Structure 1
Amino acid sequence: MNEASLTTLSAILILLIILSAFFSSSETGMMALNRYRLRHLSRTGHRGALRADRLLARTDQLIGVILIGNNFVNILASAIATLIAVRIWGDAGVVIATIGLTIVILIFSEVTPKTLAALYPERIAFPASHALGPLLKLLYPVVWVLNLITNNLLRLMGVQLEGDQSSDHLSREELRTLVNESGSMLPGRHQDMLLSILDLEKVTVNDIMVPRNEIVGIDLDDPMDEILRLVRSSQHTRLPVYRSDINNTVGILHLRNISRLLHTDEINKATLMQLCREPYFIPESTPLHTQLFNFQKERRRIGIVVDEYGDVLGIATLEDILEEIVGEFTTDFASSSSQDILPQSDGTTIVDGTTPIRTLNRALNLDLPTDGPKTLNGLITDYLESIPESNLCLALHGMRLETLQIKDNVIRTVRIHPIEPSESQSGSENEKPDK
Structure 2
Amino acid sequence: MNEVSTGALFAVLFLLIVLSAFFSSSETALMTLNRYRLRHLAKAGHRSARMAARLLERPDRLIGVILLGNNFVNILASALATIIALRLGGEGAIAIATGLLTLVILLFAEVAPKTMAALHPERLAFPFSWPLAVLLKVLYPLVWVVNLIANAMLRLAKVDTKGGRSDVLSQEELRTVVNEAGAMIPRRHQKMLLNILDLEKATVEDIMIPRNEIVGIDITDPWDEIITQLANAQHTRLPVYDGSIDDVLGILHLRKVITDVIRGKLDRDRLLERMKANYFIPEGTRLNTQLVNFQRNRRRIGIVVDEYGDVMGLVTLEDILEEIVGEFTTDPASLSRHLRRQDNGSFLAQGNVSVRELNRVLDWRLPTDGPKTLNGLILEHLQSIPESGTSMKINGFPVTIVQTKENKVKTAEIMPMKRRTRAAGRE
- TM norm. shorter chain > 0.5: yes
Deviation at 1:396, TM superposition (A): 2.0
Deviation at 1:408, TM superposition (A): 2.1
Does residue 346 (structure 1) correspond to residue 344 (structure 2)? The answer is: yes
CA contact (8 A) 1:353 1:411 kept: yes
- Structure 1: distance between partners of 2:236 and 2:161: 58
- Structure 2: distance between partners of 1:178 and 1:297: 30
Deviates more, 1:343-352 or 1:394-403: 343-352
- Structure 2: distance between partners of 1:364 and 1:394: 19
Does residue 163 (structure 1) correspond to residue 167 (structure 2)? The answer is: no
Deviation at 1:421, TM superposition (A): 4.8
Aligned length: 421
TM-align CA RMSD: 1.9
Deviation at 1:357, TM superposition (A): 1.9
Partner of 2:383: 385
Helix, strand or coil at the partner of 1:346: coil
Partner of 2:113: 113
Stretches of structure 1 that go unaligned for 5 or more consecutive residues are: 426-435
Partner of 1:32: 32
Helix, strand or coil at the partner of 1:222: coil
1:339–1:24 Cα change, 3 Å:
closer
CA contact (8 A) 2:386 2:401 kept: no
- Structure 2: distance between partners of 1:405 and 1:349: 14
Partner of 2:77: 77
Partner of 2:304: 305
Deviation at 1:422, TM superposition (A): 9.4
- Structure 1: distance between partners of 2:370 and 2:357: 15
Identity of aligned residues (%): 59
Helix, strand or coil at the partner of 2:225: helix
Partner of 1:9: 9
Deviates more, 1:404-413 or 1:174-183: 404-413
Deviation at 1:136, TM superposition (A): 0.3
**What are the within-5 Å matches in structure 2 for residues 237-252 of structure 1?**
237-252=236-251
CA contact (8 A) 1:398 1:424 kept: no
- Structure 2: distance between partners of 1:417 and 1:44: 50
Deviates more, 1:363-372 or 1:203-212: 363-372
Helix, strand or coil at the partner of 1:263: helix
Partner of 1:129: 129
1:81–1:337 Cα change, 3 Å:
closer
Stretches of structure 2 that go unaligned for 5 or more consecutive residues are: none
Helix, strand or coil at the partner of 2:262: coil
Deviation at 1:390, TM superposition (A): 6.1
Helix, strand or coil at the partner of 2:257: helix
Q: Given the alignment, which residue of 412, 415, 420 partners 2:413?
A: 415
CA contact (8 A) 1:391 1:406 kept: no
Helix, strand or coil at the partner of 1:87: helix
Map Cα deviations across residues 118-175 of structure 1 (whole Å, 9 max, x no partner).
Answer: 11111111111111111100000000000000000000011011232x1111111111
**What are the within-5 Å matches in structure 2 for residues 19-418 of structure 1?**
19-164=19-164, 166-330=165-329, 338=336, 340-388=338-386, 391-417=389-415
Deviation at 1:337, TM superposition (A): 6.0
Amino acid at match of 1:87: R
- Structure 2: distance between partners of 1:225 and 1:271: 15
Deviation at 1:302, TM superposition (A): 0.2
- Structure 2: distance between partners of 1:117 and 1:289: 41
Deviation at 1:373, TM superposition (A): 1.2
- Structure 1: distance between partners of 2:292 and 2:21: 54
Deviates more, 1:243-252 or 1:402-411: 402-411
- Structure 1: distance between partners of 2:244 and 2:82: 98
- Structure 2: distance between partners of 1:339 and 1:95: 81
Partner of 1:428: none
1:121–1:91 Cα change, 3 Å:
same
- Structure 1: distance between partners of 2:340 and 2:326: 19
- Structure 2: distance between partners of 1:372 and 1:220: 36
CA contact (8 A) 2:327 2:336 kept: no
Helix, strand or coil at the partner of 2:249: strand
* TM-score (ref. length: structure 2): 0.94
Deviation at 1:400, TM superposition (A): 2.5
Deviates more, 1:224-233 or 1:180-189: 224-233
1:391–1:309 Cα change, 3 Å:
farther
Helix, strand or coil at the partner of 1:65: helix
Helix, strand or coil at the partner of 1:261: helix
Moved over 3 A (4+): 1-4, 336-340, 388-391, 417-425
- Structure 1: distance between partners of 2:296 and 2:44: 34
Does residue 18 (structure 1) correspond to residue 15 (structure 2)? The answer is: no
CA contact (8 A) 2:356 2:368 kept: yes
Deviation at 1:52, TM superposition (A): 0.5
- Structure 2: distance between partners of 1:97 and 1:83: 10
- Structure 2: distance between partners of 1:346 and 1:262: 46
- Structure 2: distance between partners of 1:177 and 1:339: 31
- Structure 2: distance between partners of 1:58 and 1:38: 15
- Structure 2: distance between partners of 1:132 and 1:66: 8
CA contact (8 A) 1:253 1:277 kept: yes
Partner of 1:433: none
- Structure 2: distance between partners of 1:7 and 1:418: 75
Deviation at 1:57, TM superposition (A): 0.5
- Structure 2: distance between partners of 1:24 and 1:16: 12
Amino acid at match of 1:16: L
- Structure 2: distance between partners of 1:282 and 1:270: 27
CA contact (8 A) 1:303 1:315 kept: yes
- Structure 2: distance between partners of 1:337 and 1:194: 20
Deviation at 1:208, TM superposition (A): 0.8
- Structure 2: distance between partners of 1:2 and 1:243: 109
- Structure 1: distance between partners of 2:317 and 2:416: 34
Deviation at 1:86, TM superposition (A): 0.4
CA contact (8 A) 2:218 2:240 kept: yes
* TM-score (ref. length: structure 1): 0.92
1:211–1:138 Cα change, 3 Å:
same
Deviation at 1:286, TM superposition (A): 0.4
